[in-house]
Structure 1
Amino acid sequence: MTATVPLGTLRPVVELRGDEMARVMWDLVRDRIVLPFLDVDLVTFDLSLPERDRTADRITVEAAEAVRDARVGTKCATITPTAERLGTGEVRRLWPSPNGTIRRTLRGVIFREPVVLGAVPRVVPGWTQPIVMARHPYGDQYQAVDFAVPGAGRLTMTYVPDDGGVAVEHEITRFGADGGVALGMHNVTDSIREFARACFAHGLTRGLPVYLSTKDTVLRSYDGAFRDTFRTVFEDEFADRFAAAGLAYEHRLIDDMAASALKSGGGFLWACKNYDGDVQSDVVAQGFGSPGLMTSALLGEGGRVLLTEAAHGTIARHHRRWVAGEDPSTNPTATILAWSRALAQRALLDDAPQVGDFAELVERVTAGAIESGCMTRDLASLVGPHQAHVGTREFVDEVARHVRDELHRTRTRAHADGPAGRAGMVS
């Protein structure tokens, strides 16, 4: 079938393929929902674990740089290798998380938001409005140094100033004969400041109040830096705009914030440090029904670059069933939305409104399919034992069928309207 959407001067979208069941869904969505209807220029990088191992992970850096240059990318979930994989000879080294490499290259902030659908009961029924999770994707546990301590000894932490000033040393603890483990982590003020700006700007764009959660009562300097930087950025740059928009900003302890969020109706942006954002995003995704309904976008380079992704992981257990010949009924909605949001951004940057209309159509059709009862197992189980479910491939084909029908009706109307209505359409 030829493309039915005019492209104009659309520039490339960078596609980052991944692993396991996530990759199966990725290819299904690309080949059945996107490419049959949109002749988009894709720059593809294979970030599967075997390819990252073959290239000594060079391909991950190249992919991140390509996204930065193109300003729009979309990413499939990928594997971060474990010691078990190293032990089987599957990989030569414990390569770092591709997500971490990409996030550091793009200097980005992750925003995750659930898709709220009336047909899908929520695990937290009071959440009637979306909760946008903002995760600071730098430092903390993800760029920490951790090691096993073999025996008795003294653990210290030392800061040596570049200007030749006096070094600062802190004694962390003294280990006994049995040793233990140690962890050292860091963050940087510039990154925290950019995180704050991105959160406040996104809150204004979405019309949502912003909350930052930390544990500054325990980590007085570390979490205190987040608290103080957010307060300074808000007061200096955003307070007047928030007041004009009728929005508020507040810092809360993370335990208080978690409890308040569960009792709320949603409708706010929740800013978290790196690890906190990782965990709380999963909680919010499940609370709204399923990780398969969670959108995820990395805004990098001060908002100049958008990388969308499906944030539910590679789903290894389902992939084993797929390889065995089963259809595990994995939810591809987040994958579909990763593609549609990237296409919408490409359309916005390149002034291609009909491509934006196509992206909107894909999202509308996907939501409509679920609302009409076409559900994968994760969603059907929330509705109840009498709700039927479909397989992964069947769900993708259902969405593709509706997209094809809608585009056919649009083309038919355009022909009926005459030459003006047909301008730019591909026959």
Structure 2
Amino acid sequence: MEKIKMTTPLVEMDGDEMTRILWRTIKEDLILPYVDLKTEYYDLGLPHRDETRDQVTVDAANATERLGVAVKCATITANRQRQEEYHLSEIWPSPNGTIRAVLDGTAFRAPILLPFLRPAVPGWEKPITVARHAYGDMYKAVELVTNEPGIAKLNFKGQSGKDETLVIAKTKGNAVFQGQHNTETSIRAFVHSCFQYALDTKQDLWFSAKDTISKEYDGEFRRAFDEAFANTYQAKFDEMNLHYFYTLIDDAVSRVMRSKGGFIWALKNYDGDVMSDMVAAAFGSLAMMTSVLVSPDGSMEFEASHGTVTRHFYRYRAGEKPSTNSTATIFAWTGALRRRGQLDGLPDLISFAGKLENACLETMKDGLLTGDLGVLVDEGHRCQILNFEESLEAIAKRLATKMHPISER
């Protein structure tokens, strides 16, 4: 069989730990046998980020702007413990945060559903998509630890000469401070992305924040949503019988739990980080959650929404074969290949992405599962728990039958 051709490369960002192992196997066993894969490769593994002083992350983000499509493996966000473990010269920032700052996009995360897995929230009948603002908040914050009494101030000096100062706190002893920000341009881009995605997918849109407490910071988000809806989107929403509403985030959490699902939940950066994991876990597993970062210029970066599965990696390094779920990582690849095919007019590449996704889902529907899903199946549903290699082998066999019909064998 002649391999499926690509005309434009996609940006490939390699990652860390167990997901790096899965990444290599997925490429070798599921993609390269069928696709003449063209990628612009960037190694975002923590050792190489340290070697390049994190320039490789910036380069990968800029390449995504240039080429329009990227696929990313999960990466480590360093802390002091990781600095010691990997002998880092610095505690480098979150690569996801760096990429999001460059692309200034919105991350849309949605669960991958299986019919025999019941959500932990009994009333959820349809998927919930979390739209996470992908710039600012604590991910671009500066922090300061002090060890004496004093006064902390927030100061802004404008180009016009305007000078404003607010007292943050007067402390009587040791304290810790954090300064975070956002931009009007980024907020507005987030707002329009959410409304447009709701129209494209024909789903209601919820937005929640805490403007009763954060009257200016969260209030700016609410004002942007309300103005965009009233001035641009209300007529289109009415025409399609869709609804938009705002509510405080604590009220939204209770509403979400009582809902049937089937809507987009728009959230600020940190709120979206937390709530997307909650939604993923409640629907089944963090490894069953897709994530795509959409920038205002239409560039897209596809990734799994979970981390590097450190615990499994330590077991793998000790000689074990853990039962790691590769679904979200596979769907990151298929999402990127499908988008590349759409942009370049390559129907065979689009078709391949669908076949690989179906091979993955059908394998799981047949009861060939990894451990995270095996504990969730309904009683009486027969299943076999596989390690990560066995799972990928089973998917590869099913994919082969789809790519090579009986008449061709």
CA distance in 2, matches of 1:114, 1:14: 24
Partner of 1:126: 123
Q: Among 370, 375, 394, which residue is 2:390 paired with?
A: 394
Please give the per-residue CA displacement for 1:158-214, whole angstroms capped at 9, x wherever unaligned.
Answer: 22221013x2211121101x3211111111111100000000000111110101100
Does the CA contact (< 8 Å) of 2:49 and 2:56 recur in 1? yes
Partner of 1:407: 403
Partner of 2:36: 39
Partner of 2:369: 375
What's the offset of the Cα at 1:89?
6.1
Partner of 1:338: 332
Q: Among 191, 199, 217, which residue is 1:196 paired with?
A: 191
CA distance in 2, matches of 1:266, 1:272: 16
Alignment of 1:27-426 (within 5 A): 27-87=24-84, 90-165=87-162, 167-176=163-172, 178-300=173-295, 302-383=296-377, 387-409=383-405, 412=408
SS of 2:214's equivalent in the other structure is coil
Change (3 A) 1:384 1:118: closer
Q: TM-score, normalised by structure 1?
A: 0.92
CA-atom RMSD in angstroms: 1.5
Identity %: 39
Unaligned runs of 5+ in 1: 414-427
CA distance in 2, matches of 1:305, 1:256: 33
The farther-off stretch of 82-91 and 342-351 is 82-91
What's the offset of the Cα at 1:412?
2.8
SS of 1:143's equivalent in the other structure is strand
What's the offset of the Cα at 1:56?
1.1
CA distance in 2, matches of 1:256, 1:401: 47
CA distance in 2, matches of 1:170, 1:252: 29
Does the CA contact (< 8 Å) of 1:292 and 1:331 recur in 2? yes
What's the offset of the Cα at 1:410?
7.6
1:256 maps to a residue whose letter is D
Q: Name segments (4+ residues, structure 1) moved above 3 Å.
A: 2-5, 384-387
The farther-off stretch of 142-151 and 369-378 is 142-151
What's the offset of the Cα at 1:121?
2.4
Partner of 1:18: 15
Unaligned runs of 5+ in 2: none
Does the CA contact (< 8 Å) of 2:208 and 2:252 recur in 1? yes
Aligned residues: 407
The farther-off stretch of 382-391 and 337-346 is 382-391
